[in-house]
Amino acid sequence: MKLLISQALVIPMTQEGLSFRGDIGIDGKHIAFVGVKPAHFVPDQVIDGSSFLAMPALVNAHTHLSMELMRNYKDNLPTLQAWLAEIFPVEDKLQEEDVLRASRLGVIELIQSGVTTFTDMYFHPQATAQAVLEGGIRASIGITLFGSLAENKERVLQREADLRFYREHPDGRIQVDCAPHAIYTCPKETLQYAHDWAKDRQRILHIHVSETKQEVQDSLHQFGKTPLEYLYAIGALDGVRSLIAHGVHLTDAEVALLADMDATLVHNPSSNCKLSSGIAPIASYLERGVSVGLGTDGASSNNNLNMFEEMHIASLLGRVHTPTGTKLNPYQVLSMATVNGAKALGLERRIGMISEGMEADIILLDLKKSHLTPLNDPFSAVVYAAQASDVDTVLCQGKVVMQHRKVLTLDEEQTIKAVNESWDNIQRR
């Protein structure tokens, strides 16, 4: 199957500030060319791109997909700790079918906001993997560790077996990584086990770090070290690629440590604001050499999975919160949501840019909108003005998964009904 997107305004994310009008040719899963269509490329299908902006599909680098179920539930609590105390008892009642339904809803919501790749940390991960497979997108599914080593050891191996089918699927859209929840929910032995598992298999280690001041104070009290220093000291990050979610309250020494590691910090600005966790000084992290991605966190602390909104909020906070005087610019924010997110998942050679040889994960934004007129700077337009609802078409691995705002791979109406049923059942349990 050969697909041509003709004469779109292209933001390839291959070079700062680069945008141009051109053609994109897709052959099977991959991008065959970008720029001018060669005579020998005869497409089976043509999308007239003249009124669209084509850019890499977005990467949501930190979420808990099926927390969709707890959207708009127990909101406006004073702290992360108070909120978790309400959420954990509900999570104890979740069954695999609930997670499958909520994950389908999450996949639909992600596609509708231009996301084709996400990183997940949650229970019943095989159900989320199933929804990803059905939805035609990609994910890093984290096997979540929580509690003592004795509780986790057998479960991790069971989850690994449950997920083998998805990881080995020929489309190669699902990777299985390791997600110890946090230092305040996993003792040292569990963290070290997660590290060894990830290192042996060359997988990513995904963990919440320094989300709140309370977490940092507790860590200093209990271990005599800040959270990242503690993880480093026990060898939990040694020789693995790690994905550090939040990092709102890092010391200068921790920022230097992070810049030296094979790690990506994932900024979750909506969740950090909503749970009153604080504002991560992202511009200064970037200035000091930290790779930074972007995530929504779960829908119950956001309360949606809208990466356009996340880019907008990150941009605004990055303008006002400037301890070093450095401010975020739109290209940096767009990089966080594309190339840096791809790197966080080890996918930097496959997605995150529109460039020959990369896999074709591309979104088309409808430019015929009042709020995008006149367009002037396309980078500013995307992060400051565009809405998720401007995403008209989404391609993942060369396949169209949404066209004219309709998700083609999953049934939205049925899924909404099923999720409402699940939520009713959970409340009755």
Q: Which is nearer to Zn ion, 215 or 297 (CB)?
A: 297
Count of residues in contact with Zn ion, rule CB under 5 A? 1
Measured distance CA(305)–CA(60) in Å, rounded: 8
Q: Which is nearer to Zn ion, 140 or 397 (CB)?
A: 140
Q: Which stretch binds Zn ion (CB under 5 A): 26-34, 96-104, 290-298, 358-366?
A: 290-298
Q: Which is nearer to Zn ion, 277 or 329 (CB)?
A: 277
Q: HEC string of the chain?
A: CEEEEEEEEECCCCCCCCCEEEEEEEECCEEEEEECCCCCCCCCEEEECCCEEEEECEEEEEECHHHHHHCCCCCCCCCHHHHHHHHHHHHCCCCHHHHHHHHHHHHHHHHHCCEEEEEEEECCHHHHHHHHHHHCCEEEEEEEECCCHHHHHHHHHHHHHHHHHHHCCCCCCEEEEEEECCCCCCCHHHHHHHHHHHHHHCCCEEEEECCCHHHHHHHHHHHCCCHHHHHHHCCCCCCCCEEEEECCCCCHHHHHHHHHCCEEEEECHHHHHHCCCCCCCHHHHHHCCCEEEECCCCHHHCCCCCHHHHHHHHHHHHHHCCCCCCCCCHHHHHHHHCHHHHHHCCCCCCCCCCCCCCECCEEEEECCCHHHCCCCCHHHHHHHHCCHHHEEEEEECCEEEEECCEECCCCHHHHHHHHHHHHHHHHHC
**Peptide bond preceding 303 in cis form (omega within 30 of 0):** yes
CB of 65 to Zn ion, least distance (A): 11
Q: Which is nearer to Zn ion, 208 or 350 (CB)?
A: 208
CB of 282 to Zn ion, least distance (A): 17
CB of 200 to Zn ion, least distance (A): 25
CB of 287 to Zn ion, least distance (A): 25
Q: Which stretch binds Zn ion (CB under 5 A): 71-79, 191-199, 212-220, 289-297?
A: 289-297
CB of 295 to Zn ion, least distance (A): 8
Residue 297 interacting with Zn ion (CB under 5 A): yes
Q: Which is nearer to Zn ion, 26 or 248 (CB)?
A: 248
CB of 62 to Zn ion, least distance (A): 6
CB of 266 to Zn ion, least distance (A): 9
CB of 186 to Zn ion, least distance (A): 14
Residue 120 interacting with Zn ion (CB under 5 A): no
CB of 332 to Zn ion, least distance (A): 22
Q: Which is nearer to Zn ion, 65 or 129 (CB)?
A: 65
Q: Which stretch binds Zn ion (CB under 5 A): 94-102, 294-302, 311-319, 387-395?
A: 294-302
Q: Read off the amino acid at residue 169.
A: H
Q: Which stretch binds Zn ion (CB under 5 A): 236-244, 273-281, 296-304, 312-320?
A: 296-304
Minimal CB distance to Zn ion: which residue?
A: 297
Q: Which stretch binds Zn ion (CB under 5 A): 130-138, 281-289, 297-305, 408-416?
A: 297-305
Q: Which is nearer to Zn ion, 124 or 399 (CB)?
A: 124
Q: Which is nearer to Zn ion, 254 or 297 (CB)?
A: 297
Residue 211 interacting with Zn ion (CB under 5 A): no
Q: Which is nearer to Zn ion, 297 or 310 (CB)?
A: 297
Q: Where do contacts with Zn ion occur on this chain (CB under 5 A)?
A: 297
